[in-house]
Amino acid sequence: MATVAKKLCVLVFVVALYNIKDCVNSHSDSEAHDHDHDTDSEAGCGCGSNLNRKHDSDHDHHHHAENPADKYSRAKNEKPKDPLPSYPRTNQMVYLDGGTFTMGTDDPGVPADGESPARRVTLKPFYIDVHEVSNAEFELFVNSTGFTTEAESFGDSFVLEGRISEEIKKDISLAVEAAPWWLPVKGADWLHPEGPDSSIRTDRMDHPVVHVSWNDATAYCQWAGKRLPTEAEWEYAARGGLENRLFPWGNKLEPRGDHLMNVWQGEFPTLNTAEDGYEGTSPVTAYPPNKYGLHNTVGNTWEWVQDWWTIRHSSEPASNPTGPESGKDKVKKGGSYMCHVSYCYRYRCAARSQNTPDSSACNLGFRCAGDDLPQGVECRNCDKV
Ligand SMILES: [Ca+2]
Ligand SMILES: [Ca+2]
């Protein structure tokens, strides 16, 4: 068994290496973390039942304090867990009436990505999340289901070199000459975005969840009574009703000198001046929303969408397109805090990139959409439409 596990590990790294090269060849800022097996996703978590046991144990103690066996019982000696802090929910949605818009562009920023041609696309009404899914929201999912992400199952994920501690870095021998800023870090996952010595708990519970694969994102949305948006829905929502604009607010990167999204200022990858306020991710609520009420569509984290990847699109008008029926990679939209014009001009509405559905990295997250409003989810604009 040990030999098989070793071989799988080697295979994972070899495939990952190939994918990194692919990404670099297409000038993507994206990672590639390729696993060729399924995740074991339904291990029990038991967080809620631990709290209940503590309550029961107190109750028992009160009535049976004289029983010496109690002194050594697990319930008696188990330390109470700190209650989970609560965060304001960021799972709100908006209702979008659908209609016809121009998807893609005839003036592609990265022609190899299949941003063109511009085509007329008609969509039926749908709901979409106002925010990227936050760590706090993802934690509710994990606590209620015991879900294990693919990065956790396989034990590593890709992190930007500049964000890893020297301590962790010295243990990484695998380097990728063509993309030295991506390093596979053992123990990097959604709870530990830069590896075992980092944590979301200190100040990132309201930041977008990262190191989640397309498969993880799909499972989350299903649990939430939602689904991933199609690429067309995501782009329609991100454009916020403006036709043929580069960004959700217009064509100027920094109108009146204001930063309206979280991308990279300085020199990539050596100097991150964070003029927009954030070196890494920002809270999902940061920056003004677009005209449809959505925050951080472009920038902050890339966002998985439903569609399989292709760079060939018909210029014919389409209704509710869902992309190819099958493929190797899934589409992601919006660019990330790692995007800089010099190598990843992808923080635009029409921009797109791709990864295998089991890939994960420190700049890749998602938001959900839906045909209906799930019970208990607040709709931000339903009283106005
Ligand atoms: Ca930034
Ligand atoms: Ca985003």
Q: Which residue, chain included where needed, has tokens 């959604």?
A: 190
Distance 132 CA to ligand 2 centre (A): 6
Token pair, residue 266, equals: 């300085």
- 3-class DSSP state of 163: helix
Say if residues 129 and 92 touch (Cβ distance below 8 Å): yes
Distance 281 CA to ligand 2 centre (A): 10
Distance 334 CA to ligand 2 centre (A): 5
Distance 230 CA to ligand 2 centre (A): 15
**What is the reported pLDDT for 62?**
36
- CA dist 55 and 256 (Å) reads 57
- CA dist 96 and 90 (Å) reads 18
Token pair, residue 362, equals: 């420190």
What ligand is nearest to the CA atom of residue 304? 2
pLDDT digits (tens, 9 = 90+) for 283-318: 999 999 999 999 999 999 999 999 999 999 999 999
Distance 27 CA to ligand 1 centre (A): 19
List of the chain residues with pLDDT < 70: 1-85, 174-178
What ligand is nearest to the CA atom of residue 279? 1
What ligand is nearest to the CA atom of residue 364? 2
- CA dist 143 and 42 (Å) reads 11
What ligand is nearest to the CA atom of residue 336? 2
What ligand is nearest to the CA atom of residue 363? 2
**What is the reported pLDDT for 31?**
40
Q: How many CB atoms lie within 10 A of CB 72?
A: 8
**What is the reported pLDDT for 74?**
52
Distance 79 CA to ligand 2 centre (A): 39
Which segments of 104-238 are extended strands (E)?
Answer: 119-123, 126-129, 156-160, 182-186
Between helix 214-223 and helix 135-145 the angle, nearest 10°, is: 70
Distance 298 CA to ligand 2 centre (A): 5
What ligand is nearest to the CA atom of residue 337? 1
Distance 94 CA to ligand 2 centre (A): 16
Distance 333 CA to ligand 1 centre (A): 17
Q: Which residue, chain included where needed, has tokens 């007329």?
A: 120
What ligand is nearest to the CA atom of residue 268? 1
Distance 308 CA to ligand 2 centre (A): 19
List, in sequence order, the alpha helices (H) in the chain.
Answer: 2-25, 47-63, 74-77, 135-145, 150-154, 166-169, 214-223, 231-239
Query: Which phi and psi angles does 298 have, rounded to 5°?
Result: -85, 145
Distance 299 CA to ligand 2 centre (A): 5
